[in-house]
């Protein structure tokens, strides 16, 4: 397929998955509005319909809870093809039935991009309307996912990290007692090869965490105190630190002085807190179990988001480059979601090895901003090659380049349109 044909296919994927203002990640496997999927999708729409891009984010914020949280799934209609649906979550925090926790907060960063690339003349008005909602969500993160003010952000569930079966969660998840779950039937493995999905032992514990939080009514203070899983995630921490910097830029542009001061405080807290994620033995940022104080021992794709978060000191950058090059010598396509030299690496199982287009996009942006265009370009070329070879898959083998998980995937299409497509780059030049 030519680049122009791929551009067209990517647009058709977004419009086919469009449910009237919000976009599902893919048919069958994920039939609802997912939080960070939607936000990346907005970047894709912005390349050909900026009004529709704003709409995607505005509709996500329609589901914001009274306490500020923006849920990871909005169940706008019943769909028996997905499990666990609204009755398992048992939430009551917002205007739309939803899951009970959040997902990586990329929205402020994308809103800033929409403002900067605006061709509609309406961006400032729409950003002004979203700004207090973004503030409330960010304040919720600082209050309830960093309750001790450490400057690192915890996830209360592997699903909240967006990187569900990452090896970093293995120990903390194993410590979760399997309890209070009804017999259940998974739906994901009827849409996708089970070898590319999490194991049943994982699912039992995913559901046990949901049951524990349901028991405390999804009250975020009680969840922070009692949730059997509470792990600081370099992925959410770095994405959120970046989002805070972008929210600060928005606050300044919109003349929100008081809010800008509050955000500056968050950034300072996180810049110093990020040190707690640095594992000196392996020279990388890793996850930190806040219940046991134990750091993990593997390098994940999120370790490479430090530059995206603005952490570009000499020692961090030297370590990033060394790991990048070492991993690039082990796989054909960058960036594997887990270190291919780690014992837990699996090339095709979801977050234990496969390459994800939107992660490559964020890592590359960080590297480019940190003055390393060569590695950023390597990521873009690899992402383009994967899509050219295997289409708009959910994720890809870093070894063979085979597509895996769900097909005709919205965020892969969006990332193609906004960044990976060579014709997009030609236009921009």
Using the minimum distance from each CB to ligand DGY, give the nearer residue, 146 or 188: 188
Candidate list 37, 246, 297, 394, residue with the active-site label: 394
What is the three-class DSSP state of 386?
A: helix
The burial class, CB within 10 Å (0-12 / 13-18 / 19+), for 170 is middle
- Where along the sequence are the contacts to ligand DGY (CB under 6 A)? 72, 159, 164, 188
Using the minimum distance from each CB to ligand DGY, give the nearer residue, 120 or 189: 189
What distances in angstroms separate CA 157 from CA 42, 47, 84, 93, 395, one per listed residue?
A: 25, 33, 14, 18, 21
| Residue 334 near residue 328 (C-beta atoms within 8 A) | yes
Using the minimum distance from each CB to ligand DGY, give the nearer residue, 163 or 323: 163
Six-digit token pair at 202?
């994982």
Q: What is the DSSP string of 28-68?
A: TTB-SEEHHHHHHHHHHHHTT-HHHHHHHHHHHHTT--TTS
For residues 265 and 242, give the distance between their C-alpha atoms in angstroms, rounded to a whole number. Answer: 14
Name the helix (H) or strand (E) containing 414: helix 410-415
The burial class, CB within 10 Å (0-12 / 13-18 / 19+), for 341 is middle
Candidate list 164, 202, 372, 382, residue with the active-site label: 164
Using the minimum distance from each CB to ligand DGY, give the nearer residue, 170 or 262: 170
- End-to-end Cα spacing for the chain: 23
Residue 429 C-beta: closest distance to ligand DGY, Å: 36
The burial class, CB within 10 Å (0-12 / 13-18 / 19+), for 400 is middle
For residues 312 and 366, give the distance between their C-alpha atoms in angstroms, rounded to a whole number. Answer: 9
| Residue 300 near residue 166 (C-beta atoms within 8 A) | yes
Using the minimum distance from each CB to ligand DGY, give the nearer residue, 164 or 259: 164
Using the minimum distance from each CB to ligand DGY, give the nearer residue, 102 or 279: 102
Residue nearest ligand DGY, Cβ-based: 159
Q: Is 394 a catalytic residue?
A: yes
Residue 72 C-beta: closest distance to ligand DGY, Å: 6
Residues with catalytic roles: 164, 394
């Amino acid at each position: 397929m030519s680049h122009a044909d791929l551009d067209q296919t990517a647009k058709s994927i977004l419009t086919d998955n469009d449910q009237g203002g919000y976009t599902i990640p893919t048919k069958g496997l994920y039939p609802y509005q997912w939080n960070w999927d939607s936000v990346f999708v907005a970047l894709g729409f912005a390349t050909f319909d900026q009004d529709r891009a704003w709409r995607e984010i505005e509709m996500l914020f329609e589901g914001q809870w009274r306490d500020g949280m923006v849920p990871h799934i909005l169940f706008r209609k019943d769909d028996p093809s997905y499990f666990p649906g609204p009755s398992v979550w048992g939430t009551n925090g917002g205007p739309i039935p939803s899951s009970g926790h959040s997902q990586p907060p990329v929205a402020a960063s994308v809103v800033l991009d929409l403002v900067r690339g605006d061709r509609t003349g309406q961006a400032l008005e729409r950003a002004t309307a979203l700004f207090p909602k973004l503030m409330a969500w960010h304040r919720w993160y600082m209050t309830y996912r960093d309750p001790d003010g450490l400057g690192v952000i915890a996830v209360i569930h592997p699903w909240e990290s967006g990187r569900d079966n990452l090896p970093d969660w293995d120990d903390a998840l194993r410590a979760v007692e399997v309890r209070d779950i009804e017999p259940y039937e998974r739906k994901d493995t009827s849409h996708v090869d089970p070898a590319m999905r999490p194991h049943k032992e994982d699912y039992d514990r995913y559901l046990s965490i949901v049951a524990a939080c349901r028991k405390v009514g999804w009250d975020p203070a009680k969840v922070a105190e009692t949730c059997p899983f509470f792990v600081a995630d370099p992925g959410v921490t770095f994405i959120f630190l970046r989002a805070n910097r972008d929210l600060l830029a928005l606050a300044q542009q919109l003349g929100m002085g008081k809010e800008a001061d509050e955000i500056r405080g968050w950034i300072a807290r996180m810049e110093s807190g990020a040190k707690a994620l640095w594992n000196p033995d392996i020279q990388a940022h890793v996850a930190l179990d806040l219940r046991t104080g134990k750091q993990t021992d593997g390098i994940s794709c999120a370790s490479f988001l430090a530059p995206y978060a603005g952490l570009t000191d000499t020692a961090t950058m030297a370590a990033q480059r060394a790991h990048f090059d070492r991993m690039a010598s082990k796989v054909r396509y960058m960036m594997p979601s887990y270190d291919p030299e780690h014992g837990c690496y699996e090339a095709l199982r979801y977050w234990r090895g496969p390459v994800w287009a939107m992660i490559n996009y964020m890592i590359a942006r960080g590297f480019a901003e940190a003055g390393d265009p060569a590695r950023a370009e390597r990521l873009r070329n690899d992402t383009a090659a994967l899509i050219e070879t295997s289409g708009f898959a959910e994720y890809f083998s870093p070894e063979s380049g085979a597509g895996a998980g769900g097909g005709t995937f919205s965020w892969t299409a969006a990332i193609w349109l906004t960044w990976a497509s060579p014709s997009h780059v030609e236009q921009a030049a």
